[in-house]
A and B are shown apart, each in its own frame.
Chain A
Amino acid sequence: MKHSIRLILLIAILVPLCCGCDWSHKPKFDEALLAGYWIEGTVHEYYNANGTGYTWDTADDVTEEEAQPFTWTLDGATLTQNHKMTMGGIVPKTYTVTKLTASTLMYHDNFGTFHSFIKQ
């Protein structure tokens, strides 16, 4: 019983504290740094400052002219890419950015897929 009471008290104390705290705090990155041409191996991504971009993979014999478009947003550390389909519709992809510098871009998704790009 005492154990239960202590637990309730602990919750009663911690909940207000937690509510006053920002539990979802994530690092924020400057989206201006994202604009540019990034390469990860054979994967190429180009981010325009206006929120558009395109990507291609030379491993599949795709040229820059044949790259596929997407739009992007960077909200804090959340990078969202909406890949446009030619016949209509989008394929959304959401990543968490872990590093964004003038030369390095690193992000991953919720399934443990990590990407590390070098800016050109």
Chain B
Amino acid sequence: MRKGIKITLITLVSLLGLLVAGIGIVLLTVFSPARLTKIVNQEAPNWLTCDFHLDRAELTFFKSFPHLGIDIQDVTLINRMFGAPTDTLLHVDHCVASLNVRKLMRDKHVEVNEFLVKNGQLNIFTNNLGQSNLNILKPFNKDTTDTTSYSFHLQKVETQNVDLRYINIASGLVADVDNVNLTANGSWNDPDAEGKIKLLTDQLVFKTLHDKKIVAKYDQLDGAFEGSLNDLDRLEGTLDLTLDKASFSMDTDVYLDQQDITLHSDMKAALADQTLQLQNTQLSLDRYKLALEGSASRDTAANDLALNLNYETGNWPLHDVLELIPRAIIGNALYDLSLDGLVHLTGQVKGHLNERQSPIITTDVNLVNGSFAKKDFPLEFQKINSTFHLDLNPNDKTSVQVKQLNAYTGRNYLTATGSIQDLLGEMLFDLALTGDLHVEDFLNMLPDKLAHSSGKAKAALNVKCNYDQVARLAIDQWVADGTFDFTQLNLAYGDSMFITSPALNLKFFFPVKQKPYKIGEWIYTQIQAPKLQVRQVGSMDIAANDAHLDGYLNNLTDSTLPLKLGVKYNMGTVKVKTDSLMADLTQPSGTFVMPDNNQMKLDYSGSAISADLGSGLLVKSRALTLNAATHYNPKGSNTLMQWNPTAKLSLHNGVVTVPAIEYPLELPKLVADINPKQCNITKGDGKLGNSDFSLSGKISQIDDYFNGKDLMKGTLEFTSDYIDLNQIMDMFSGLGVSDSVMAEKPENSQKDPFMVPYGMNIRMNTHIKKALYEDTYFRNIGGFLDLKDGTLVLEEMAVTHDAARMQLTAMYQSPRKNHLFLGLDFHLLDIKIDQLIALIPEVDTILPMLKSFAGNAEFHFAIETNLKSNYDLKYSTLRGAAAINGQNLVVLDQETFGNIAKKLRFKKNTPNRIDSLSAEMTIFKNEIDVYPFLVSIDKYQAILSGRHNLNMDYQYNISLIKPIRLGLDIIGTDKRRFKLGKAKYATLFRPERQNVVEQNVMQLKTRIHEALKANVKPPSAE
């Protein structure tokens, strides 16, 4: 069996070999290479218009095995064209073709078993007239009646090592491709085709010949397309393409620089509509992958490309990707910008690309662990994690919608949401920001004057601004509001003002909507702080609890402007300390406005105040309302005149303690209107020591007083139920007196005398029900008290005393402590002489004879003298005059009366009563000259005169003129002596008998008497 099979197989092979050999012999005989070459050369001119040459054409079996093919060797097509670099259109070493002739003849099916072009060069040239050297085929004589439909099948179409040179002068295009290796197979069954193409080339250089030179290169291309073409229109398939070291440039703009590109795409295209649909498209540039999906359609007529593409990237390192963006596209946008992080993009390219517009690129960006820094931008950000939506609209403005962003700048944590419009231009921020911040890290964004501030803050801000405004720190141009919850805040404004608080809530608003204070309002703020301290170095410390401030500030960023502010305040308690003031305020509220450094306005209302105004001046009050303002004038002569305060004051239950005054001044109610020019006291109820008073009136020319231009003037109404003059004089002694005067040591006294204030002209109309002076009480004191520039005047002061009804005009001056001046114009009406001496002991010194009498008298007394510091008289300066009128006076000195009566021969039972007395006297130094006066005692009339020295020596003369004339001299020294003589003034009271001396004496008496009584006022109705 096996042998049979073996024999059979050997037989069959032998027959087959014989057949092949027979066919070969036939073919070599009928289609020998020479014969076949001849046939081709004979037929080619029927098809070609150009010259051609071939070395050899032969049938081949082995090269196209298992099919019979034709191998044409060294084929050259020559088509001469003017301008072409070469006449050769095509030259190939081998062109092998194998066609299934049987199917072509029988089935009208063109089946190309193989078509191979090997080792060739194709030079395509188109001249400037658009004529191409490819135009080498003679037109076919088509048989229009032949409607035979052919089908095609390409089993293998291949080029090997073919170089392509393309020059199109008309289009200005030049391309060289080396080593084109193309492999294609497929079939076409009219009108559909399908197949697979693989293309592998070496370097491509493509460039244009236009002025705007475009150059495209790659080192190698490896591409493949497998798909179908239906109806000769709809192309569908899968494209894979790899370009190594691809470059693309336009003029000097480099868009692609030796980068590897890969593309995989499932694509569909409609050739007639020029539409393209991409699916599962992966494009990568180097290692950066981009997934594409969508469609593009071209309108040739309109030169428009409509795009609708979705794309998604991998996680790109942002810095590297940005580096890949051609400068031609991104320009200098990245010049001073540092961006990094892993970015993932998904988005869409949608719109038309034509000469007028470009498609909108929308992108959802997810940035992880990013960073941002920009030259001249004050902050750098790290650890940026963000998702945001980017609308890149080349036709309009690019915008970013920040869905979420959190980042760190230094140790500060920030979050943001919002949008940035015109990202590539003005950069309009509309952001909601939160932050956990350290103030120290933002000082370079704050005004220079705040450069030494510190603290922590939790911030929530809404900001609308642009990049330029941020970069320039033009905060005033922002539209912003926000809240800062500060802790451990230390806000330093320059090196002069510090605001500190352990916890402070600040709300701010830009720009201000109202300008209530006309201070150039720049920012509106609301501040709440449980504890707040404000320190103006060297001048002011304020500590507030439960502070609520609601105010406006001027432009803090303009260092040329002084600080201006207007604040409504409401606080629990406030402690204020300045170089001249310490105050505790309870529940203060009101308004404080500082239009500039030289002006301040304060509206204040508080439930209590306790203030130390310096130099021991203390003020306490329960309820206090104050409307005050100051205007600083550096030329002012003192602090008061420099600050020019004005105030409307309403004070209840106040207490003022002045160090120079022993007792505090209690003010149950004080309503006053004060300004540098005047002080209007509407109501001033007070209590000072033992004294009470109610004061009202007006003091003017205060500024002139402090400027040394004029006197301070005033008219006051002073009423009181009780005044302790001793206490008050002690308290007010020396106010306003010059230092040199106050430095003088008082003589003979441990205590300073009362020194009258200078520079004032104040009239006080007094109504005092009861007053204590020394140990004596006075009642119903009414009259004027004038303080006239160092002179204290009691003008016609009416006083009621148990001993008398008095009227006193007095003048007191204190030019120096040891040289005081006292002048009295004193009228005692209906006085009891003994009580007069008790009331005014000095009267006994000046008029010692008065103590010899008892009874009621009228006493007029004008005297002036200088005093020592202990109020002792300086007798050398004593000047005075006195008049006394009395009736029924009792002579108390019985011994003296007895001696006088005996000497003048009075009857023994003559009563010691003087019926009437009218005497005048002058006082000069220690000399009291008693002018002659007439006394009537019983039936006797006598004229008394003499001198009484203050050392108690005296010389009196009694001239008895009725019933007899007799004189008696009484000389008192150590021992009183009596000496009878003649009557000295016998005719004095008889005008018709008066001599010249007596006339002069009487005239002087009259002048003295009238002068003394001239100032007596009639008794009031009281």
Could you tell me which A residues sit within 8 Å of B by CB distance? 43, 56-57, 59-62, 66, 68, 83, 85-89, 91-93, 111-113
- Within 8 Å CB of B809, what residues of A? 87
A65 to chain B, nearest CB (A): 9
CA distance A43 to B823 in the complex (A): 22
B786 to chain A, nearest CB (A): 13
- Within 8 Å CB of A91, what residues of B? 879-881, 922-924
B876 lies within 8 A of A56 (CB): yes
Interface-side segment among B711-719, B849-857, B860-868:
B860-868
Query: Which of B866, B868, B881 lies in contact with A66, CB distance below 8 A?
Result: B866
CA distance A111 to B864 in the complex (A): 23
Contacts between the two chains (Cβ within 8 Å), count: 66
CA distance A57 to B866 in the complex (A): 12
A60 lies within 8 A of B955 (CB): no
B811 lies within 8 A of A86 (CB): yes
Chain B CB within 10 Å — which of A83, A89, A91, A111 has the most? A91
Q: Given A83-B924, A91-B879, A93-B924, does the pair A61, B955 have CB atoms closer than 8 Å?
A: no
- Within 8 Å CB of B877, what residues of A? 57, 60, 62, 68
CA distance A98 to B652 in the complex (A): 74
CA distance A75 to B862 in the complex (A): 29
A27 to chain B, nearest CB (A): 19
- Within 8 Å CB of A85, what residues of B? 823, 862, 864, 879-881
Query: Which of B747, B815, B876, B1011 lies in contact with A88, CB distance below 8 A?
Result: B1011
A61 lies within 8 A of B823 (CB): no
- Within 8 Å CB of A57, what residues of B? 874, 876-877
CA distance A85 to B809 in the complex (A): 14
Q: Main secondary structure on chain B at its contact with chain A? A: strand
Name the 7 nearest CB pairs between A and B, nearest first.
Answer: A57-B876, A60-B874, A87-B823, A111-B947, A60-B876, A91-B922, A91-B879
Instruction: Judge whether B241 is part of the interface by a CB distance below 8 angstroms.
Output: no
Some 18 contacts from A to B, beta carbons below 8 A apart, are A57-B874, A59-B876, A62-B866, A62-B874, A62-B876, A62-B877, A66-B819, A66-B866, A83-B924, A85-B823, A85-B879, A86-B864, A87-B825, A87-B862, A89-B1008, A111-B946, A111-B955, A113-B927
B584 to chain A, nearest CB (A): 49
CA distance A88 to B947 in the complex (A): 23
CA distance A59 to B864 in the complex (A): 18
Which residues between 806 and 828 of chain B lie within 8 Å of chain A, taking CB atoms? 809, 811, 815, 818-819, 821, 823, 825
Query: Which of B815, B874, B881, B946 lies in contact with A89, CB distance below 8 A?
Result: B881
CA distance A93 to B868 in the complex (A): 25
Residue of B at shortest CB range from A63?
Answer: B819
Instruction: Judge whether B875 is part of the interface by a CB distance below 8 angstroms.
Output: yes
- Within 8 Å CB of A112, what residues of B? 955
CA distance A56 to B866 in the complex (A): 11
| Given contact pairs A85-B823, A87-B809, A89-B862, a sample of 14 additional A-B residue pairs in the complex whose CB atoms are under 8 Å apart | A57-B876, A59-B876, A60-B874, A60-B875, A60-B877, A61-B747, A83-B879, A85-B879, A87-B862, A89-B881, A89-B1012, A91-B923, A92-B1004, A111-B955
Q: Given A60-B866, A61-B747, A62-B819, does the pair A89, B876 have CB atoms closer than 8 Å?
A: no
Which residues between 843 and 900 of chain B lie within 8 Å of chain A, taking CB atoms? 862, 864, 866, 868, 874-877, 879-881
Residue of B at shortest CB range from A60?
Answer: B874
CA distance A87 to B1014 in the complex (A): 13
A75 to chain B, nearest CB (A): 12
CA distance A61 to B870 in the complex (A): 14
CA distance A94 to B999 in the complex (A): 15
